């Protein structure tokens, strides 16, 4: 392969061609072929939220604690049906809690049945990076009128025209995904030519692959794409693929497919799709058969992701310290009873049974204290004696608890005991052992959580890195900042400052605040590793007092 000419674009070809760089100045100079890794997940969609929970042994003593994956261990779980990528999502925000990098968006255009989706999945598998989202333009067909439904039933509606797509919804969805937000995407039923009632949720994209026949047909949409790829496949091959797909998957007959192809598909390709090839940065002939071109694309995306890496924990350690504790912090009154329970659970000689018993007592007191900060309004009820009683009632819609695994889940029983019918969500955050940064591995949140007051639970907070990530996840799901309550049995001042500085309207509630964090980000004097002491798992050799799989 010849290098890119320094004075202008150059078609790079083998026999047959690998890919073509378009007539505009080269957008990606210096791309070269080298070995590419080939580990990754199968299609990233709404299920990309479901990461694998680290296994916890049962019935063994002592149990082994879990650790996050490192690069020497392939972060994959292979089953008979699919491959699950178990690596986590690194921070997508800075120490201020705001997004400092957008997801990298790749646009894949090309004619109908040219192999765009197959190429997209090959790129995902070869990228070997977590949290890749595949967004298909097929999900964004407009809702048809009754007349248009009748036309579609007789293969007389043009689905290959730009007007058939809801570009406003496409653009708003892609913008939110790039900003790290959670989005809802319609599910289109090609058999009935209509949107299904249920929409799917996408969240957590480091890389977005957007594919569709009109991927380059809108100027605003083009500006959102960081890399544009056109998949060029012979028209006869596309027709054969479309026949096979529409008959087997979409319930069409041969005559109807051919009629639609000749009347709408082919003319639309010539008029609207093929001209957009000039807008692409790279043209991939032969689609999924062109593995060399896919390797080149993957290498460039890797280089872009490396430039966007962040270091949050180190910034937290040096930022906004030596300040007075924030007003949003509330510490449970240190009565002799509370002080006595802290003495027991901090004592390294305390047995596991005693540790669990007194931890649960503190959790109950903490949650009762936290509920007093919820909004209440005046209400009047009638007593059995027929008398009015002027009281108070909860003024919100619903309360949801979200635990940061694994230690946070120990607080769930106490919350359930005092909040009837409370909904529970979970977030798993692990520390990357190579970078020291927190990584998001798994989350499961109740539907419509944005309407609720959310009690975010973790047992210890040292630097605040994990707590900040969890708060950021909630904000990305449109939970208002002032409706989030962070609860922890023990916090370090550094963690309090970190969360309060980034999210000044989040209420922070704890039973105690320790002043120091040592060079290894461990709370001093601390409580030890809460998860190990509670679950009876092995401690690490150096006696770490931080919860693993995540740190602070």
Average pLDDT for residues 76-101, to the nearest whole number?
57
Confidence of residue 94 (pLDDT cuts 50, 70, 90): low
Whether cis (ω within 30° of 0) applies to the bond prior to 16 is yes
Three-state SS annotation for 101-115:
CCCEEEEEEECCCCC
- Report d(CA 144, CA 142) in Å as an integer: 6
547 in Cβ contact with 403 (< 8 Å): no
User: Does the pLDDT at position 1 exceed 90?
Assistant: no
pLDDT band (50, 70, 90) for residue 552: low
Q: Which of 2-6, 116-120, 203-207, 548-552 has the lowest mean pLDDT?
A: 2-6
The confidence score (pLDDT) of residue 375 equals: 93
pLDDT higher at 6 or 143: 143
Kindly report, residue by residue over 289-346, the tens digit of the pLDDT: 777 788 888 888 888 777 666 555 555 555 555 677 888 999 999 999 999 999 999 9
Q: Which domains does the chain have, with CATH numbers?
A: 101-307 (3.40.50.300), 314-376+388-535 (3.40.50.2020)
Q: What is the pLDDT of residue 267?
A: 85
Per the structure block, which two tokens stand in for 313? 């924990």
User: What is the predicted pLDDT for the residue at 190?
Assistant: 78
- Looking at per-residue pLDDT, the higher value among 87 and 445 belongs to 445
Give pTM, 2 decimals. 0.69
Peptide bond into 62 cis (omega under 30): yes
* End-to-end CA separation in angstroms for the chain: 49
pLDDT at 21: 41
Position 475 scores a pLDDT of 92
Q: How many Å apart are CA 64 and CA 353, to the nearest integer?
A: 19
CB 171 within 8 A of CB 220: yes
Classify strands 484-488 and 507-510 as parallel, antiparallel or unpaired: parallel
Q: What percent of the chain has pLDDT over 90?
A: 34
Q: How far apart are CA 361 and CA 340, in angstroms?
A: 11
Lowest-pLDDT choice from 48-52, 149-153, 405-409: 48-52
Q: What is the largest CA-CA distance in the chain?
A: 93
Instruction: State the burial class of residue 151 (Cβ atoms within 10 Å of its Cβ: 0-12, 13-18, 19+).
Output: middle
Average pLDDT on 239-265 reads 78
pLDDT at 502: 87
Of residues 232 and 247, more confidence is placed in 232
Is residue 523 within 8 A of residue 462, CB to CB? The reply is yes
Phi (first) and psi of residue 501, to 5 degrees: -70, -40
pLDDT score of 9 more than 50 = no
Name the phi and psi angles at 2, rounded to 5: -85, 150
Please report which confidence band the pLDDT of residue 99 belongs to, taking 50, 70 and 90 as the band edges: low
For all residues of the chain together, what is the average pLDDT? Answer: 77
Q: How far apart are CA 244 and CA 254, in angstroms?
A: 9
d(CA 428, CA 407): 10
* Segments in 454-506 forming alpha helices (H): 465-476, 493-502
Cα 363 to Cα 342, 373, 395, 397, 401, distances in angstroms: 12, 16, 24, 24, 13
* CA distance readout (Å), 60 to 67, 351, 364: 18, 17, 29
CA distances, 502 to each of 179, 205, 439, 463 (Å): 17, 22, 18, 13
**CA atoms within a 13 Å half-sphere pointing along the CA-CB vector of 304:** 21
pLDDT top residue among 521 and 97: 521
Q: Output 440 or 29, whichever has higher pLDDT.
A: 440
pLDDT at residue number 191: 80
Closest CA to 290 of 34, 42, 19, 22: 19
CA 545 and chain centroid, separation: 28
CB 410 within 8 A of CB 68: no
Query: Does residue 172 carry a pLDDT above 90?
Result: yes
- Of 368, 360, 358, 357, residue with least CA distance to 333: 368
pLDDT of residue 33: 26
**CB 94, CB 308: distance < 8 Å:** no
Q: What is the pLDDT of residue 72?
A: 34
Chain segment 421-463, per-residue pLDDT in tens:
899 999 998 877 777 778 888 889 998 899 999 999 999 998 8
Helix/strand/coil (H/E/C) assignment for every residue in 67-101: CCCCCCCCCEEECCCCEEECCCECCCECCCCCECC
* Mean pLDDT value across residues 498-512: 92
The residue-averaged pLDDT of 517-522 equals: 80
pLDDT at 317: 52
Question: pLDDT tier at 111 (50, 70, 90 boundaries)?
Answer: confident
Is residue 249 predicted with pLDDT exceeding 70? yes
pLDDT above 70 (res 36)? no
Whether the predicted pLDDT of 44 surpasses 50: no
pLDDT at position 479 is 94
Decide if pLDDT at 66 tops 60.
no
Q: From CA 128, how far away is CA 39, in angstroms rounded?
A: 5
pLDDT of residue 413: 94
Q: How far apart are CA 547 and CA 403, in angstroms?
A: 14
What's the confidence (pLDDT) of residue 538?
A: 62
Lowest mean pLDDT among 33-47, 66-80, 476-490: 33-47
């Amino acid at each position: 392969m010849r290098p890119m000419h320094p004075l202008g674009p150059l078609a790079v070809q083998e026999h047959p061609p690998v890919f073509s760089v378009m007539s505009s100045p080269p957008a990606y100079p210096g791309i070269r072929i080298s070995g590419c890794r080939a580990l990754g997940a199968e299609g990233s969609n709404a299920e990309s939220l479901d990461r694998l929970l680290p296994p916890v042994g049962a019935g063994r003593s002592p149990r082994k604690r879990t650790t996050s994956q490192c690069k020497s261990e392939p972060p994959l779980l292979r089953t008979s049906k699919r491959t699950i990528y178990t690596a986590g999502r690194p921070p997508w925000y800075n120490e201020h809690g705001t997004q400092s990098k957008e997801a990298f968006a790749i646009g894949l255009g090309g004619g109908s049945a040219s192999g765009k989706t197959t190429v997209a999945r090959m790129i995902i598998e070869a990228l070997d990076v977590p949290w890749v989202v595949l967004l298909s333009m097929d999900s964004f067909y407009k809702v048809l009128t009754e007349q248009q439904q009748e036309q579609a039933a007789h293969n007389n509606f043009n689905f290959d025209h730009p007007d058939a797509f809801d570009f406003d919804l496409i653009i708003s969805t892609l913008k939110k995904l790039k900003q790290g937000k959670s989005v809802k995407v319609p599910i289109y039923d090609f058999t009935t030519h209509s949107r299904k009632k249920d929409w799917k949720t996408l969240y957590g994209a480091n890389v977005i692959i957007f594919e569709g026949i009109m991927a380059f047909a809108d100027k605003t949409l083009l500006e959102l794409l960081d890399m544009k790829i056109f998949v060029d496949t012979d028209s006869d091959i596309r027709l054969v693929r479309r026949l096979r797909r529409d008959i087997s998957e979409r319930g069409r007959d041969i005559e109807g497919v051919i009629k639609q192809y000749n009347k709408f598909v082919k003319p639309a390709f010539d008029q609207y799709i093929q001209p957009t090839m000039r807008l692409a940065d790279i043209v991939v002939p032969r689609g999924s058969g062109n593995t060399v071109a896919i390797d080149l694309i993957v290498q460039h995306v890797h280089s872009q992701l490396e430039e966007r890496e962040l270091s949050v924990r180190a910034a937290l350690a040096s930022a906004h310290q030596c300040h007075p504790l924030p007003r949003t912090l509330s510490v449970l009154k240190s009565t002799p009873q509370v002080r006595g329970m802290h003495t027991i659970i901090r004592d390294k000689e305390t047995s596991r049974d005693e540790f669990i018993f007194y931890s649960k007592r503190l959790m109950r007191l903490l949650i009762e204290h936290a509920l007093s900060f919820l909004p209440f309004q005046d209400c009047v009820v009638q007593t059995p004696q027929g008398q009015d009683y002027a009281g108070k009632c909860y003024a919100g819609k619903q309360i949801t608890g979200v635990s940061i695994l694994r230690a946070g889940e120990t607080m769930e029983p106490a919350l359930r005991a005092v909040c009837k019918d409370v909904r529970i969500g979970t977030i798993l955050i692990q520390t990357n052992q190579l970078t020291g940064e927190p990584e998001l591995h798994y989350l499961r949140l109740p539907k419509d959580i944005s309407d609720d007051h959310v009690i975010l639970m973790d047992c210890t907070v040292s630097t605040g890195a994990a707590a900040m990530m969890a708060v950021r996840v909630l904000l990305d799901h449109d939970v208002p900042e002032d409706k989030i309550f962070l609860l922890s049995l023990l916090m370090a001042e550094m963690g309090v400052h970190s969360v309060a500085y980034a999210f000044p309207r989040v209420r922070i509630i704890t039973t105690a605040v320790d002043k120091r964090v040592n060079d290894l980000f461990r709370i001093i004097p601390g409580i030890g590793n809460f998860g190990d002491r509670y679950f009876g798992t092995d401690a690490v050799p150096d006696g770490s007092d931080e919860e693993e799989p995540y740190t602070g």
